[in-house]
Structures are given as C-alpha cells and as structure tokens.
Amino acid sequence: MSRWQEIDLGKQVYGRLAMPENPRDLLLLVHPGFATVDDENRDFLLAHGHALLNCALLNEEEIRYPDAERNVFRLTERLLQVLAHLLRQPELQLLPLRLCTYGATTPAALRAAVQRDRQVLAIAACAGEIDRAGGDALRHLRQPLLLLHAAGDEGTVAAHARAARHLPTPCTVVELAAGESALLRQAAWPGDGNAGGNSGGNSGPA
C-alpha cells in the first residue's frame, strides 16, 4: 500500500501524497495547518481507488498567529496555487478532483472552486463558516456542496443558515455521529447533492 510522499506545492505550501495503483479520483484534503490522516483510514481509501493529497495552507510560523486562519483571501490564494500545481502534474491533472475541507479552509475553498469550476467537481466540507466566502462567491458556486458538522457545532449551522439564500446549488448538511470519521464520510459522498453512498461499496474501518 502506498505511503505518504512529501511534495512541494509551491510557495509556503507543502503536501503529502498517497496514490493507489489505479486511482479513480483525487481527494484534496485542505487544512489550515498540518494535520495527520489515520493510517487505517488512508489504507482503506487507497484500497478503494482514492488518491489522497493532504495539504496545509499555512506553515508552522503562520499558524501561530490567531488571525491567520481568518484571512480568507490568503487561504484562497494558497489553494489556487495548489490547484494550479495539480494541473501541471501528468499523473494527477486528469483525475476527478474533490475538495475535502476543514474549518477555516472551507470559505476559501468555495471561493477557489468558483474560479476553478472545471477543475473542482465537488466540495465536501467539515465545519467552517461558509458565509465568510462572501455573497458573490456563494451565488456563483456551481459544484455540489456537502457540509458536515459535529453535534453542538452551532457556528457551522448558523453560517449555513446565513449563506443558504445565496447558494444556487444543492447543499447537503449532515451532523456527524459520535466517533464518525469525517474523512470517510467525505469520501463516501457521491458528490451529487445526496448524503448517502460509501467510498467503495464497503463499510469503512471501525
């Protein structure tokens, strides 16, 4: 099974790539800072044909500043940089691409997806204030959107309520069960506006 490979995604951005033998799509995992992926989840998704690119949009120095994660403009620019890099990689550029976002990267992903609507097929977000993408980006979003949140995450739910009137595309809002893996739910989502499906016809690891 493929292990993580460190890759340079351009100025200030680094990522870790894991590739199955015959990938069917690419899940771009977008975090504000470095975040690990459970080995069991990684191996399960690779076994079902998902290539994984885990990236952090802020480096170790930047993430120390409290306001860094609130800078939607900078996070958007960094993500656009990553997307441009992928278009220059022969083994990655033709793979169907889904964004899997977390927290502060979610509004930035919506903005970036509007500018890369032919490259990004769907957005599976875990938490985040989607209304901070701004009304213009929300109105022009064309990709299906999944919004996951933990029980009691009132901020994410309230942000969706504020943004909903602007969204022209389906947005599926799902509360994660206690202990449920956000990544496995993101991978299982078919990207068509429905919440169901699984990542390869089987249940994920416990």
Q: What is the DSSP string of 97-166?
A: EEEEEETTHHHHHHHHHHHTTTTEEEEEEES--GGGG-HHHHHH--S-EEEEE-TT-HHHHHHHHHHGGG
Angle, vertex CA 135, rays to CA 84 and CA 172, nearest 5: 80
> Amino acid identity of 68?
A
Specify the pLDDT at position 206. Answer: 36
User: Pairing relation of β-strands 97-102 and 25-31?
Assistant: parallel
Considering the domain delimited by 5-188, tell me its CATH architecture. 3-Layer(aba) Sandwich (3.40)
Range scoring the smallest mean pLDDT among 7-16, 35-44, 147-156: 7-16
What strands, in cross-sheet order, belong to the sheet with 5-8? 5-8, 14-18, 50-56, 25-31, 97-102, 120-126, 145-149, 171-175
What is the C-alpha to C-alpha distance for residues 111 and 126, in angstroms, rounded to an integer?
16
What is the C-alpha to C-alpha distance for residues 65 and 25, in angstroms, rounded to an integer?
34
Q: What is the pLDDT of residues 106-115, one digit of tens each?
A: 999 999 999 9
Whether 15 contacts 55, CB under 8 Å: yes
Q: What is the pLDDT of residues 89-141, one digit of tens each?
A: 999 999 999 999 999 999 999 999 999 999 999 999 999 999 999 999 999 99
Which helix (H) or strand (E) element contains residue 26?
A: strand 25-31
Look up residue 34 and give its two tokens: 């470095």
Q: What is the pLDDT of residues 152-197, one digit of tens each?
A: 999 999 999 999 999 998 899 999 999 999 999 999 999 876 766 5
Q: 53: closest CA among 11, 101, 90?
A: 101
Domain definitions of the chain by residue range: 5-188
